[in-house]
Structure 1
Amino acid sequence: MIAPSQLSEPAVRAFVNAVNAGDRAAFQEALTPGATMSDDGSDRDVAQWADKEIFSSGGHMDVETEADGGRSLVVAYRNDTWGEMRTAWRFEVTADGRVSRFETGQA
């Protein structure tokens, strides 16, 4: 596992730390206004998805590997709804260091 503090991309590091802390404010700060996302290839509303999959269900990311300068992760993701699953995450990061889009799905 890779400790979140060791992740190469600061914006992704902030995202993972916010998820693992269950910190909605930090999660929003890690994202650009109007950030988008997809889950298993389908675009989702970020706020609704995050509430269901992260904040109301104890979501947690254990990073197994990173690639693409830290913008692609393989994660053991767990929450109270689905248990643990191996997932792939891809992030688009803006010049100001925030996530503008993330995509997740089964790895």
Structure 2
Amino acid sequence: MTIQTGKLTDPAVRAFVNAVNGGDEQALQTILTDDATMADDGSDRDLAQWIDREIFSSRGRMDVVNESNGGHDLVVNYRNDTYGEMRTRWHFDVTDDGHISRFETGQA
């Protein structure tokens, strides 16, 4: 059972998921702060390279299974053309003005 994207609690996280699922790199860049950072499985990664490789060039898709922490923590069935489907966890740091300054993901 998945949660419809439109029902996600936090607007910034909702916009992030919509951008990923829509293949909209410009929309994703708009929701991120200029100095946004990220980590994958506990290791910091180059944000631009990771987004291109793991999301856009491999057609990533997020199906949200669960949200917590005011919508800042998600459990997602994530799939892309490189790795297939896997259960992942996501944590988002959202600024007061509604942008994502950092996200962390990894296997759940």
TM class by shorter chain equals over 0.9
* Superposition CA RMSD, Å: 0.3
CA drift at 1:26: 0.1
Matched positions, count: 107
Unaligned runs of 5+ in 2: none
TM-score for both structures, normalised by structure 2: 0.98
Question: Which runs of structure 2 are paired with 1:5-16 in the superposition (5 Å)?
Answer: 5-16=6-17
Distance in 1 (alpha carbons) for counterparts of 2:33 and 2:5? 20
Moved over 6 A (4+): none
Unaligned runs of 5+ in 1: none
TM-score for both structures, normalised by structure 1: 0.99
Instruction: Give the structure 1 partner of residue 61 of structure 2.
Output: 60
- Deviation string 1:18-70 (CA, Å, 9 cap, x unpaired) is 00001010000010011000000000011100000000000000000000000
Q: Secondary structure at the match of 2:27?
A: helix
Distance in 2 (alpha carbons) for counterparts of 1:50 and 1:23? 11
Distance in 1 (alpha carbons) for counterparts of 2:26 and 2:79? 21
